[in-house]
Amino acid sequence: MASYFDEIARNKLKSIMLMLFFGLLFFGVILIFTAFLGGGLFGLIFGAIIIVAYALFTYFAGDKLVLKVSRAQEADRKQYATLYNTVEELATANQIPVPKVYIINDPSPNAFATGRDKKHASIAVTTGLLSMMDRHELEGVIAHETSHILDNDILFMLVAIVFAGSIGVFAAFIRNALFFGSGFSSRDRGNTGLLLLAGFIIGLLAPLFALLIRLAISRRREYMADANGARITREPSALASALKKIQKYEVAPNTPPVKHANEITASLYFSNPFKAQNVMNLFSTHPPIEERIKRLQQMY
């Protein structure tokens, strides 16, 4: 048995360790990049400008883009009074501004939170989730999404996405230098063989490692949001029950996944929006539902 606080602390520590490893990988890619290209400083500055622009766009406009891509519409307060009340009660109890509430017309049961900070947050829920969950289960799901807002998970994952994107950009430069014969800076020509080997490894494998770390961070944040959501409601059984219903939906034949989810937005959702789990958990945005239920059942 584990307390809410033990589970939260454990997953927070693992998330930080993964992010530190991410930083080391990024630093290694930068070192190889600057050694690999003649005039590497110019390329480094150009790459940094692209990355900063990408990060700023994602930070300020990413949530609007996610809601648009997901076909989310702002919920009518009268029609979805229970949902609004649940969101407001949990926001008030946790002393944060009430997030905007959105509805996605989709039969697949799911939800997500988005926004750059607590003052600019939104929670989107599918019609399938609303029709499937009772009040306690809905509260458990909304508490999970509220936890993502409380823990700044959206910003945390933004940093992970920018790290992964940056590593991909610099790794592409290194691959081009390998395949098209770009030279090294003059001071590094004596270490050509070593740089070729390092460039080959970094250029081809760094983006894969970056993806794996980003997905691992996503899974850790899901475990933490489950634990924090259970702490908020003091009812881990309600969240576990919601997950059981979603699991039953996923294994049922001919039940569709979330229609407008994609690889970029998948990690935001309460459960895997593609319905079927990936063959290897390493490449999944979410932990196995069975493991999430098991951990919730062991909490007190």
Query: Mind telling me the catalytic residues?
Result: 145
DSSP β-ladder status, 100-104 and 121-126: parallel
Q: What are phi and psi of 122, to 5 degrees?
A: -140, 150
174 and 203 Cβ atoms separated by less than 8 Å: yes
Q: How many residues are given for the chain?
A: 300
Look-up: residue for tokens 């929670």? 123
Roughly how many angstroms between the first and final C-alpha of the chain, as a whole number? 7
Closest CA to 219 of 128, 153, 298, 162: 153
Cα angle: 112, vertex 118, 119; to 5 degrees: 115
